[in-house]
Amino acid sequence: MFENTVFGRLDQKLQHAIKDAGYETPTPIQEKAIPYLLDGRDLIGCAQTGTGKTAAFMLPILNHLVRERKPRRIGHPRALVLSPTRELAVQTAENVKRYSKYAQLPFACLIGGVSQHGQVKDVKKGAETVVACPGRLIDLMNQGILYLDQVECFVLDEADRMLDMGFLPDIKRIISKLPKSRQSLFFSATMPPPVLKLAGELVHDPASVTISPETPTVEKINQKVMFVAKSQKDALLAHLLEQHPEWNRVIVFTKMRHGADRVVKKLSRAGINCAAIHSDKTQGQRTRALDGFRRGDVRVLVATDIASRGIDVPDISCVVNMELPLETESYVHRIGRTARAGESGAAISFVTYEERGQLKAIERLIRKSIPVDRDHPFEAQPDLPQPAWVAPARSGQNNKGGGHGPHGKRRRKSFAGRRQVDFGQKGGGRR
């Protein structure tokens, strides 16, 4: 069936399942990671969501559980996947269900925001794989419902997001309950020093797999910047949605929860089907919003960064950044919701003049300049005040160099051409 690929090393039951799911050839991370994991190695993987990493770690784990059958012990899972957000945990659990459909491997998905009753029921059915968020996992451990002493395979997924969300104490507490003899898998989209330190504490003699965390996805996305006053951002969004009826699935990112709710109110008044997804929403509300978005009933999903890595929906037409993210790396994760699985996509960022520093930081990160689109009715340049270091032009002059400042203040002195030894500049006095 998959004789010439790494999928051919999997148990036949798993091969049938992934064939049903439409898998034909492995993605780069699957090609690189699966052989190491089938050999029992620990692994550090640097890859974004959308690269196929869930299958890269889940298929070898399920393969191990199928081929190394053991009597089930209620409340003692053999595999544990830790996820930072409910959406990502649910998405991973759906993949576990898809891959194990012929293997009869029970599993449980443990997330907060909903009743634990159904989740406890799944655990007591003998779940061999548990996909969990840290809070609910620790809660069930404290209740004596779940124990980690039999875990043979442990996955820490989206480790950088875990640390960003303050889960480090919970992660360390969970790791302390795991057996010392286990296979540990560590995945992260970025590898800043705190993440590398955590990886060093978790894995032993690991294999490393890196699938270019930024560039490949970014290169396939048609990125644009639109300069707009903060007060005009909602109007610009409504205008773009009206001008582009072909955008049938759009994700809009805001920095704050109240900002997401405000955008939903404005779009709803304009007759646009939309929903918000953020941490103040109940799990039921978040699930309904995401399901509606997948079905196409919801055209616009407005989300905060908590959802930037937890949404895996095909055929997203466009990602709109209402504000640039506080963390530069989050820009890549946001726009990565489009251009999934090798497809192209579009991303538009609304930028005020105050956000230009953040824009430059993003351009440094992705190593390219993002084109500015000025062809829209809310172009901000004429309306916004110029930055303090740019003086207005005199009458009949362009806005280069000097001129009187606001309120008739004295003209700034020009330091052009003066020698600044500390900066290594050449040249003498004034020109």
Please write the tens of the pLDDT for every residue from 343-352.
Answer: 668 999 999 9
Sequence-distant (6+) residues with CB within 8 A of 78 are: 65, 70, 128, 129, 150, 151, 152, 153
- Give the pLDDT mean for 318-337: 84
Q: What is the pLDDT of residue 310?
A: 62
- Note whether residue 51 is domain-resident: yes
Tell me: the pLDDT tens digits for 141-171?
999 999 999 999 999 998 988 887 889 999 9
For the chain, the average pLDDT equals 84
pLDDT for residue 341? 56
Between the alpha carbon of residue 369 and those of residues 225, 263, 342, 358, 376, the distances in Å are: 10, 28, 22, 13, 20
* 381 has a pLDDT exceeding 80: no
Q: Tell me the C-alpha to C-alpha distance, in Å, between residue 401 and each of 10, 71, 83, 357, 416.
A: 68, 79, 53, 21, 10
Q: What is the pLDDT of residue 297?
A: 94
User: Does residue 296 carry a pLDDT above 70?
Assistant: yes
Predicted local confidence at residue 306, as pLDDT: 66
Using a cut of 0.75, tell me whether the model's pTM lies above it: no
Mean pLDDT, range 272-283, rounded to an integer: 88
Q: Is the pLDDT of residue 394 over 80?
A: no
Pairing of strands 250-253, 274-277: unpaired
Domain contains 334: yes
For 274, the 3-state DSSP assignment is strand
Instruction: For residue 415, give both structure tokens.
Output: 């330091």
Structure tokens at 280: 């103040």
Distance in angstroms (rounded) separating the CA atoms of residues 86 and 421:
55
Closest CA to 192 of 156, 157, 154, 159: 159
Asked if residue 234 and residue 189 are part of one domain, the reply reads no
Question: What is the pLDDT at residue 183?
Answer: 97
Say whether pLDDT at 380 is over 90.
no
Q: What is the pLDDT of residue 276?
A: 93
- Asked if 153 and 182 count as a contact pair (C-beta separation under 8 A), the reply is yes
CA of 185: how far to CAs of 207, 314, 328, in Å?
10, 26, 26
Q: How much is the pLDDT for 382?
A: 41
Average pLDDT over residues 357-363: 86
- pLDDT greater than 90 at residue 423: no
In a domain, 146, yes or no: yes
Amino acid 22: pLDDT:
85
Q: Does any domain span residue 292?
A: yes
Q: Which two tokens stand for residue 21?
A: 């799911």
What SS3 state is found at 121? helix
In total, how many domains does the chain have? 2
Q: Which of 189, 210, 231 is the last residue of a domain?
A: 210
Is residue 94 in some structural domain? yes
Q: Which helix (H) or strand (E) holds 302?
A: strand 300-303
- From 29-33, 178-182, 415-419, the region with the lowest mean pLDDT: 415-419
Ramachandran sector of residue 211 (left: φ over 0; alpha: ψ -120 to 50; beta: rest): beta
| Beta strands at 107-110 and 129-132: parallel, antiparallel or unpaired | parallel
Q: So what's the pLDDT on residue 361?
A: 82
As a whole number, mean pLDDT of residues 376-390 equals 57
Please report, as a single letter, which amino acid is at residue 431. R
> For 101-123, what is the mean pLDDT?
94
Share of residues in the chain with pLDDT > 90 (%): 57
Whether 275 has a pLDDT exceeding 50, the answer reads yes
Reported as type and span, the H/E element at residue 411 is: none
Position 420 in a domain? no
Tens digits of per-residue pLDDT, 16-36? 999 998 888 999 999 999 999
Give the pLDDT band (50/70/90) at residue 200. very high
Q: What is the pLDDT of residue 50?
A: 67
By three-state DSSP, how is residue 20 classified? helix
Burial letters 81-112, b for 16+ CB under 10 A, else e: bbbbbbbbbbbbbebbeebbbebebebbbbbb
Q: What distance, in Å, lies between the first and last C-alpha atoms of the chain?
A: 76
Q: Is residue 256 very low, low, confident or very high in pLDDT (cuts 50, 70, 90)? A: confident
* Segment 195-199 mean pLDDT: 93
For CA atoms 370, 222, 232, 334, the dihedral sign is negative
DSSP state of 269: H
3-state secondary structure (DSSP) of residue 328: helix
Where is pLDDT greater, at 353 or 381? Answer: 353
pLDDT at 208 over 70: yes
Q: Range of 67's domain?
A: 6-210
Q: What is the pLDDT of residue 21?
A: 85
Indicate whether 184 and 224 sit together in one domain.
no
Residue 388: partners with Cβ closer than 8 Å, 6 or more residues away? none
Q: Which of 23-37, 176-190, 281-295, 337-351 has the weakest average pLDDT?
A: 337-351
Residues 186 and 249 in one domain: no
Gap between the Cα atoms of 366 and 286, Å rounded = 31
- The answer on 202 and 229 residing in a single domain is no
Q: State whether 20 and 124 are in the same domain.
A: yes
**CATH number for position 326:** 3.40.50.300
Determine, yes or no, domain membership for 413.
Answer: no
Q: Are residues 20 and 94 in the same domain?
A: yes
